[in-house]
Structure 1
Amino acid sequence: MLGALRHLNQLGASTAAVSASLCKQARTKATASFGMGSVCGTSARAPCRAGSARTSPPCGGGQARSATTSSAESKAGAKAGGEGAKSAFDGVDLNKAAGAAEAAAEGTEKAGGGTSIFAMALLGLCGTAGVVGYAFEGKDVHKMADKAEGQAPEPLVSLARSYATWREGMEDNVRQFSEPSSEKLLPDLPPPAAQYMRTLVLDLDETLVHSDWRRERGWRTFKRPGVEEFLRHMSQFYEIVVYTGQLSTYGEPIMERLDPDRYVPYRLYRDATLYEDGKHLRDLKRLNRDLKRVLYVTSDAKNCTSAPNAIEIKPWRMEADDTTLLDLMPFLEMIVRSQLPDVRQVVESYRGTDIPSEFRARTAEMKKNLRQKSGGKRFFGSGPR
């Protein structure tokens, strides 16, 4: 279809060019015949020579005589120039001729305008096709063709269907690079574990490690303080998944050094992400897990498809005294021990706070309330006397 549209566009452009050329030739011919160009007041057989007695007066510095010169003035000029020199305007009604020339030029312009309208219509068709190509998917074009069946010309409907089929093929090719490699990124859990298992998804860069470049040594990757203890302890409560937008050639060597004991059974890289608006998003919806039991720990909560499941922590920039991961462990452990039906409700209640600090404060308040409630009660009495 694009080839056909280009052909039609070129046809419109060439038609407009031919029309413009014809218009220019008509105007040139009219001006040459009726003295609008650089024509002297003498015959073509008697060239204009300065000082000659057989010629009419000089051309006035190369300027043409006006087309509105009267017939009497032309005859007087010819008589003054001698019997052998006749004016090119003898026997011609210049007013009438000028009117005819204007009418011819006007007709040519109208003809050219018609061609321009045709060309603009083709350009509009091409523009419309371009908008349809970007604004509608292949399935949308198929629906349009179905609605136009019997109303629009059959060749046009067939062309639309052919374009829709081609477009769907292109969309399939794009999906191979923009969507996750599988609809189920993790294998199914066995039936007993599916009822209670919690899944902890961890981002890699600025969450577990930080990569730094210096001129004298190049790139080096550093592990966050407490990351090994964090993975070892959390593996007792969670199914752990590392999910990053980096290529496996970058992430896999890091994970091999960071987790030699395989506390992280699943590692997902760029091919498992959703590419959208220039970002590689962690598509938690395709983890093949119930989102009520999924937590995602990251330094950037905007890089996932399910914000209610995201716990955002401070990005690590190689601070030696950082204790973020260790401070987060009691909170994550409490979620599992409490067997909460939906972890997203807990995350939402901590939204906008420093979770470790807020969790310690709430825990201290809860213990205080329990002591106050139990302070005035006697659990072991002396019995009846």
Structure 2
Amino acid sequence: MAGLGATPRTKKPPREEQELPTPRAAARGCAKSRQSAPRGWARVPSSPTTPGKGRLVRRGPEDGPGSAPSPGALTPGRDGPGPRKIRSKLQHTRVLALDGTLLYSSLLARGQQDATATFTMGFQASSYTVHVKLRPHVQEFLESLSKTYEIFIYTTAKKDYAKKLLEVLDPKKKLIRHCLSQSDCVCSQGCYWKDLTRLGRDLAKTVALDHTMQGFPAQAANWISVPPWSGDPEDEELLRLLPALGRLGQAEDVRPEIQRQFQPCQPPTEG
């Protein structure tokens, strides 16, 4: 066909002769294609296996340019030991203590009387028999809350001990979403303190019930004091709390409502 005046095709140069970008140029192009994080934010991987571009989280004031974001600034529902947030109508979270709030446990023989359950725990090469009594109306209380709230247990007890108590409190594992124990607390000056940011939930929609202020010193605005229970069979405190907790479930921010409806526990005066 070349004899008929057709222009012959231009042959492509061999691959090794083509102009290829240098490794440094390729790296620059790759960096330009990524979206840079705005000032005051950091990009962290989405997951260890498929990091991708990651996601943005706000840095804490103490975080330098090369440090990881502070735990209190993590995105709600995505960080901390708490499980991933379920996309449902359960937008509010209720955090409950165990011993003294929902139940009473004892190592004494007299605690065996009318005990709901008894189990054996090992501690420092010794075995102990634990007698557990559930607070009156606790099942009704949990069932009512679980219909509209995500329920967390937060305790300073060790994980194995808390697990045993949960088997008594929620044997079918249908009422309580997750349990945080001693390893999820902040240890300071020999004491264990609970920190609600470890849940990974929106604190504006989180209410914590405990019988002692020692539980949540950093989030006093989220805390409701519950009178401690040590076995009174006529106690009705949990039933009394249900209407107030129901109203809090309608609030955009529960903290001002808690301050308005509930007075902090005052220490007893001497004399």
TM-score tier after normalising by the smaller chain length: 0.5 to 0.7
CA distance in 1, matches of 2:210, 2:224: 6
Name the structure 1 match of 2:95: 201
Instruction: State whether structure 2 residue 107 is matched by structure 1 residue 213.
Output: yes
Q: List aligned pairs for 1:93-242, cutoff 5 A.
A: 184-190=80-86, 197-215=91-109, 219-242=130-153
Please state how far the C-alpha of 1:286 moved relative to its aligned partner. Answer: 2.1
Comparing both structures, which one devotes a greater share of its residues to strand?
2
The answer on whether the counterparts of 1:226 and 1:323 sit within 8 Å (CA) in structure 2 is yes
The answer on whether the counterparts of 2:83 and 2:178 sit within 8 Å (CA) in structure 1 is no
The answer on whether the counterparts of 2:225 and 2:264 sit within 8 Å (CA) in structure 1 is no
Instruction: State whether structure 2 residue 209 is matched by structure 1 residue 297.
Output: yes
Please state how far the C-alpha of 1:183 moved relative to its aligned partner. Answer: 5.5
Gaps of 5+ in 2: 1-77, 113-128, 266-271
Please state how far the C-alpha of 1:343 moved relative to its aligned partner. Answer: 0.2
- Partner amino acid for 1:307? A
CA distance in 2, matches of 1:347, 1:197: 17
CA distance in 2, matches of 1:191, 1:219: 38
Name the structure 2 match of 1:376: none
Task: Give 1:266's match in structure 2, choosing from 175, 178, 202.
Answer: 178
**The structure with more radius of gyration:** 1
Instruction: State whether structure 2 residue 195 is matched by structure 1 residue 283.
Output: yes
Name the structure 2 match of 1:348: 259
CA distance in 2, matches of 1:213, 1:190: 38
The answer on whether the counterparts of 1:274 and 1:281 sit within 8 Å (CA) in structure 2 is yes
The answer on whether the counterparts of 2:156 and 2:192 sit within 8 Å (CA) in structure 1 is yes
Name the structure 1 match of 2:246: 333
Please state how far the C-alpha of 1:301 moved relative to its aligned partner. Answer: 2.1
Q: Indicate how the Cα distance of structure 1 residues 280 and 326 shifts in structure 2: closer, same or farther if over 3 A, else same.
A: same
Please state how far the C-alpha of 1:191 moved relative to its aligned partner. Answer: 5.7
Please state how far the C-alpha of 1:229 moved relative to its aligned partner. Answer: 0.8
Instruction: State whether structure 2 residue 217 is matched by structure 1 residue 323.
Output: no
Name the structure 1 match of 2:115: none
CA distance in 1, matches of 2:133, 2:156: 18
Task: Give 2:227's match in structure 1, choosing from 300, 311, 314.
Answer: 314
Task: Give 1:249's match in structure 2, choosing from 149, 153, 160.
Answer: 160
- Partner amino acid for 1:267? C
Gaps of 5+ in 1: 1-181, 355-385
Q: Indicate how the Cα distance of structure 1 residues 191 and 253 shifts in structure 2: closer, same or farther if over 3 A, else same.
A: closer
Between 276-285 and 207-216, the greater mean CA deviation after superposition: 207-216
* Per-residue Cα deviation, 1:145-195 (whole angstroms, up to 9, x for no partner): xxxxxxxxxxxxxxxxxxxxxxxxxxxxxxxxxxxxx961213325665xx
Q: Indicate how the Cα distance of structure 1 residues 215 and 232 shifts in structure 2: closer, same or farther if over 3 A, else same.
A: closer
CA RMSD of aligned residues (A): 2.1
- Partner amino acid for 2:244? F
Q: Indicate how the Cα distance of structure 1 residues 190 and 213 shifts in structure 2: closer, same or farther if over 3 A, else same.
A: closer
TM-score of the aligned structures, taking structure 1 as reference length: 0.41
CA distance in 2, matches of 1:190, 1:254: 25
Q: RCO greater where, 1 or 2, for CA within 8 Å and sep 6 or more?
A: 2
Comparing both structures, which one devotes a greater share of its residues to helix?
1
Name the structure 1 match of 2:46: none
Q: Indicate how the Cα distance of structure 1 residues 291 and 222 shifts in structure 2: closer, same or farther if over 3 A, else same.
A: same
The answer on whether the counterparts of 2:95 and 2:207 sit within 8 Å (CA) in structure 1 is yes
Name the structure 1 match of 2:14: none
The answer on whether the counterparts of 1:279 and 1:303 sit within 8 Å (CA) in structure 2 is no
